[in-house]
Structure 1
Amino acid sequence: MGKSKRKSKASSKRLQTAGKAGGLGPNRESGNLRKIQPLLKQLESAVANERAMALGTISVLCDDQHMRQMFLRERLIQTVLSRLLTDENTEIVVESYGLLRNLAIEEGYDVCIHLWRSDVWTSLSAGLDKFMSSLASLETGQTQNQDPKSVHAQTQSARLLFDFGENLFSLTVALANGSEDIRAALMEEKIKKVLQCVTVTLTYGMVPQEELRVGLRITLSLFNAILDLIYDLSSQSGDFIEMILGDSYLSEFIKSLPSLLFTNANELTNVLIQGIHLQLLEENATDEQANMIISKVCASIEHIDLPNMVSDMSSVDQDKDLANAGNESVATKIKAQTNVRAAAAVRFQSIEYSLDIITAAMEIVAAQFEASDLPVCNSLQTTLTTLLPKLFQTLYAQFTSRVLIGWNNLLWLFLTLHINVFDLQNEPWRGLWAALPTTSTSSDDDLFSIRVGRIGVTWALLKTAHSQQDASACLAILGCATSEFVAGVISEYNNTESLDISDVEHLRQKCVGLLGVLSLFQGQVELNRQIGHFFMEQLVSNDNGAPVLLDLMDAFIDTYSDANFDYNEPVFVQDRFLCHLKEKVMPNLRNCFKFVDKNKNPELKARVQDAYNVMESFVRYKEIESS
């Protein structure tokens, strides 16, 4: 049976107990190894039922991180690719694609690259061809009169076929998400086969009814997998959108989606439709359209019972239930629990996508306002100031990283639209500030997002506080005017272990932005001194890439651009910053920037040259100022 695609491995795992933190003891490790080796051997059994049972058990065990790693070390992927994708038993083939899909989602880059280099596309392409031909045969068979037994058999066969298509589409998306190189390779020519299969599936599966209602002859999960593919790839590639719009059938399909009423749609269907609609509109979306999309997305998930969803996704109660079940009822209970968890996963994924779409919509609104400077409509302003803060508060505990990203965008949008968050009814900023996690030093994807989100939100709130009439009072309320707070931000800046280069740059740029705003507050000379000396240290460090140095330069110049600032004399002048700039900073910047290759990155090269010239002008200006 096809499983619901799990978009975020880190966030969904927080709701489960499988794969708890901490390693396995040697006894349990060896015990698990003895458990998995017979299963792997059974995959090579001549008896189809034994292969199917082993595959099903492995699929369940791979939900546990430690068990999954053990299976991967025992060459599970090689066995699946070489034996099971071409198995004579259709159910095994379908389940095998589902297992590969789940492994690609859970393990990300490493597994995706391994699959791609093992030529998984050849199997995927053959699978798409087989799916399309089987769909054509299914349609032909449905037009013929058959007895009840044949109809039942055909229904079961159709269900398996739809699961097959779902797994093929979602594996394609998982591979594209796993690596930019894979996504680029797919977009060259291979995606045409995928889109052909999408067209064939939709042509067969959609049944127009009265008015704008549409029924489905395929499973809702397969239809959602198609929507997911279109939304996911269009959010990452403008070329993909152009490819869709260049196809007469698919272009008409996505343009008509928002007005169609699908008779058995669920939360995920409705959310994905709005996401595709937003991708189609892009920067051409009006604020009324953006407000409608945000409102519909919120309406699609507002009925979800969060405690119930968390309980359904947790394995604790389900494991206890299985432990107390008799042998004759275990299989039935496992099947029932699988269905419950799959339904909960759909609700979970719907909320994740909703937060992503809302965040993207806010970015579009901000860009449009900056381009036109026209006020947004009242309905959108109400949505931004009332609906979204309530939604973020409700979802914060279970979706912390995504909600922080949403809050970050909303706070910066408020600044753009000249909306004072400190003046909003019910003071939602207080609940946000109180809920911000104080520490999260793990390099795990989800916790890293929380780190970046926390710093971004703090930066935006400090930026808002600095614009208040009594900025010092706001700073005092936030409690950021302490050397300990600054030291904490500097610690975050330096805590880059296990992060890749792009993550390091992203984290450090956020920290520099936060410290840059904090350094501007008047009446905080010692705080400014602490930040100023940190900026100086980083400007002569060889540990920062060009993008971080550019932000450091901007923040430093903004901080010390005016001799009238109360910290200029005691810090910039008395601590001899000008001498330090001329003797150490400028030579280091010149040396670092010469390594930026204008052929590989001409835009960055132009930026560093301009920034260096600006810094030279700043040094001359401060020399004149001090004379």
Structure 2
Amino acid sequence: MGKSKKSRAGHRSDPVAKTVKPPSDPELAALRESKILPIINNLKSADPKSRSTAASVISSIIQDTKCRKLLLREQIVYTVLTQTLTDAALESRAAGWGILQVLAQEEEADFCVHLYRQDVLTAIEFASKLIQDKVLSKEAPFAKLPKAEKGFISSIAASLVSLLMALAEAEEEILESISNNNPITSLLFSLITYTSQDDEDPISAIRGDAMACLMVLTEDNTNLAKYITSTPGSIACYETLVSLKDEVSGDGVLACTVLHNIYASLLEVKNLSPKIDVADDADLISTLTKAMAGFVPGQSEANGSGCLQPTDDLSLKIQGHALSALNNIAWSVSLIDFSEDSNNDVLGAWTPVARALWQQVVSPILASDTADVDLATQVTSIAWAVARALHGETPLQPNEHRKFVSLYQATKGAPALQDPEDPFQALGVKCVGVLGQLALNPAPVDLNREIGTFLVTLVAGLPGTPTADAVEAFNQVFDIYGNEEYAYDAEVFWRSDFLKHLEGTMSKAKAMAKSVNKSQQPELRDRADEVVMNLTRFLSYKKKHKPVQMTVRERS
């Protein structure tokens, strides 16, 4: 399936709990003696000033790989959790949270699992209450606090948000614990709804990060979606998101992604507040497509406002959020059964939106011949979802289908970047999927012939064709040529002798299925086995429904 998926990394047990011993490498041993141990000793000092200075120094060197690994060997995490985060000096606590935040970003996911097992959420909960007390205080307004104190408070808030996002992405259990922790989610809500009190207010700059964190937490999370939209303490956050959704900006894109997650999670929920319209996804697409226009060569926003240019990491992240949201919206709609009359209104509303999505996002990026595989993967997934719903109404440009063929050939066999463990998330599979949808009735005969030939060539190329690609190609062939009444059935399937070529793939398909280790890749094996079964049925069906003119021609 094409929908973006959350990655859940594996982990080993307690990755940083090791016996402290000097490194064998002379250079590292010297660095440990001259720099690391003195800092660690100062961090544990009874002198508050020494502790604060040490914490600040560590936060400045922690990004250096050698220093970071040596600090981890010296149990820096334990020291920070048990001493630095409870230090009386706000400066020390700010540095401590900064240290943990950098470690979570630089180390692998199992580090976050280790932090979680060390009960870091309790410390985050306590710090969250502190931040809210300071930021929301009416007796001592945040704007009137000393500049240094405001800096430390905003630093802690930024570190907490970044750390929470890393924790949530590391493991599903951690995500659930975070989303069920009211003081922690309340911090995110407060940062999103916060109104800047002056031109240099550092807290207002954290809103985007808070929304990005909430985006991760709200994906497939019905309980949190219900909480945000129905609890008096959080409804203000929902209203802020709604007010931001029309802004063609980073915050606008992030608001749209969070709102989509909320709408998708509440789609089957009954007795919602009348303020919540879970069908509002269409309203989000305008902002997302306008934001994407700033990333596409030759495109500009219709309203003439400033475009988001992908000249830095932040802009590239926003681009990724916009594409991911558009992809998920498109796939949510594409899974609706439009053959049922009850869904005609949905199809009618979606069709012009989907056409615009293809014209404003898919076509320009395809025309740019991007070398960015991740971007190509996301836009191909969107194209697949749009084509699933539109079929013959897809606004395909002349020869545009060949762009997907070229993408497939250029990246054949490459694993999925976002989810390498799932072969069906690879760009190759998505290219096959969108091509198959473009070839469906009422596709022109010439277009159908070209795509059909490509698909049959793929399956005939086994075992040289990757298994997931072949599975998708077989399934698309079954869908395209499963009805003998389609105009292209006789003109393409029979005149091009596809039956003979497909019969020749039977033994290859069986060997393909048997080659997949069922215990290691159960979904791939199940789908490969299903293809073998369906191929047998498909060939039998086609032989029984051969066009009369073809049968007469053979006899004569």
Smaller-chain TM-score bracket: 0.5 to 0.7
Structure-2 change in CA distance of 1:71 and 1:614 (3 Å):
same
Alignment pair present for 1:618 and 2:538? yes
TM-score, normalised with respect to structure 1: 0.58
Alignment pair present for 1:174 and 2:171? no
Counterpart selection for 2:345 from 374, 381, 398: 374
Distance in 1 (CA, whole Å) between partners of 2:459 and 2:202 is 59
Letter in 2 for 1:164: I
Moved more, 39-48 or 368-377: 368-377
Distance in 2 (CA, whole Å) between partners of 1:206 and 1:455 is 35
Alignment pair present for 1:253 and 2:236? yes
Distance in 1 (CA, whole Å) between partners of 2:163 and 2:222 is 21
Letter in 2 for 1:58: I
Distance in 2 (CA, whole Å) between partners of 1:553 and 1:479 is 19
Is the 8 Å Cα contact of residues 459 and 514 (structure 1) preserved in structure 2?
yes
Distance in 1 (CA, whole Å) between partners of 2:409 and 2:194 is 59
For residues 273-292 of structure 1, what are the alpha-carbon distances to aligned partners after superposition, in whole Å with 9 as ceiling and x for unaligned? 44433333337587984444
Unaligned runs of 5+ in 2: 1-5, 7-25, 43-49, 268-275, 295-300
* Structure 2 partner of 1:122: 119
Deviation of 1:233 (Å) = 0.8
* Structure 1 partner of 2:60: 57
**Aligned 1:497-536 pairs, distance under 5 A:** 500-503=420-423, 505-513=425-433, 516=436, 522=446, 531-536=455-460
Alignment pair present for 1:44 and 2:40? yes
Structure-2 change in CA distance of 1:571 and 1:527 (3 Å):
farther
Structure-2 change in CA distance of 1:137 and 1:595 (3 Å):
closer
Structure-2 change in CA distance of 1:143 and 1:456 (3 Å):
closer
Distance in 2 (CA, whole Å) between partners of 1:254 and 1:228 is 14
Counterpart selection for 2:78 from 82, 85, 94: 82
Is the 8 Å Cα contact of residues 297 and 354 (structure 1) preserved in structure 2?
yes
Unaligned runs of 5+ in 1: 1-7, 9-29, 314-343, 393-406, 408-428, 441-446
Structure-2 change in CA distance of 1:435 and 1:270 (3 Å):
closer
* Structure 1 partner of 2:20: none
Alignment pair present for 1:230 and 2:214? yes
**Aligned 1:236-275 pairs, distance under 5 A:** 236-244=220-228, 247-250=231-234, 252-258=235-241, 267-275=249-257
Structure-2 change in CA distance of 1:363 and 1:137 (3 Å):
closer
Is the 8 Å Cα contact of residues 138 and 158 (structure 1) preserved in structure 2?
no
Is the 8 Å Cα contact of residues 354 and 386 (structure 2) preserved in structure 1?
no
Deviation of 1:461 (Å) = 10
RMSD: 5.6
Distance in 2 (CA, whole Å) between partners of 1:240 and 1:54 is 38
Is the 8 Å Cα contact of residues 225 and 262 (structure 2) preserved in structure 1?
yes
Is the 8 Å Cα contact of residues 458 and 465 (structure 2) preserved in structure 1?
no
Letter in 1 for 2:367: A
Distance in 1 (CA, whole Å) between partners of 2:514 and 2:357 is 50
The secondary structure found in structure 2 opposite 1:249 is coil
Distance in 2 (CA, whole Å) between partners of 1:557 and 1:205 is 49
Counterpart selection for 1:435 from 354, 365, 368: 368
* Structure 1 partner of 2:155: 163
Deviation of 1:132 (Å) = 1.7
Structure-2 change in CA distance of 1:131 and 1:522 (3 Å):
closer
Alignment pair present for 1:554 and 2:475? yes
Distance in 1 (CA, whole Å) between partners of 2:499 and 2:189 is 70
Deviation of 1:115 (Å) = 3.1
Is the 8 Å Cα contact of residues 97 and 159 (structure 2) preserved in structure 1?
yes
Deviation of 1:122 (Å) = 1.6
Deviation of 1:173 (Å) = 1.5
Structure-2 change in CA distance of 1:568 and 1:98 (3 Å):
farther
Distance in 1 (CA, whole Å) between partners of 2:229 and 2:284 is 21
Counterpart selection for 1:196 from 160, 178, 183: 183
Is the 8 Å Cα contact of residues 195 and 204 (structure 2) preserved in structure 1?
no
The secondary structure found in structure 2 opposite 1:494 is coil
Letter in 1 for 2:343: S
Deviation of 1:502 (Å) = 0.9
Deviation of 1:205 (Å) = 10
* Structure 2 partner of 1:184: 173
The secondary structure found in structure 1 opposite 2:491 is coil
Counterpart selection for 1:143 from 126, 136, 139: 139
Deviation of 1:352 (Å) = 4.5
* Structure 2 partner of 1:337: none
Is the 8 Å Cα contact of residues 513 and 555 (structure 1) preserved in structure 2?
yes
Percent of aligned pairs with the same amino acid: 11
For residues 545-590 of structure 1, what are the alpha-carbon distances to aligned partners after superposition, in whole Å with 9 as ceiling and x for unaligned? 6xx5542321343566556234635543665x42552xx1464477
Is the 8 Å Cα contact of residues 282 and 353 (structure 2) preserved in structure 1?
yes
Distance in 2 (CA, whole Å) between partners of 1:451 and 1:387 is 15
* Structure 2 partner of 1:444: none
Distance in 1 (CA, whole Å) between partners of 2:405 and 2:192 is 58
Letter in 2 for 1:434: A
Structure-2 change in CA distance of 1:156 and 1:186 (3 Å):
same
Is the 8 Å Cα contact of residues 204 and 217 (structure 1) preserved in structure 2?
no
Distance in 1 (CA, whole Å) between partners of 2:401 and 2:243 is 48
More helix per residue: 1 or 2?
1
Counterpart selection for 1:450 from 371, 375, 385: 375
The total of aligned residue pairs comes to 476
Letter in 1 for 2:476: A
Structure-2 change in CA distance of 1:293 and 1:610 (3 Å):
same
Distance in 2 (CA, whole Å) between partners of 1:468 and 1:240 is 37
Distance in 1 (CA, whole Å) between partners of 2:220 and 2:454 is 41
The secondary structure found in structure 1 opposite 2:225 is helix
* Structure 2 partner of 1:544: 467
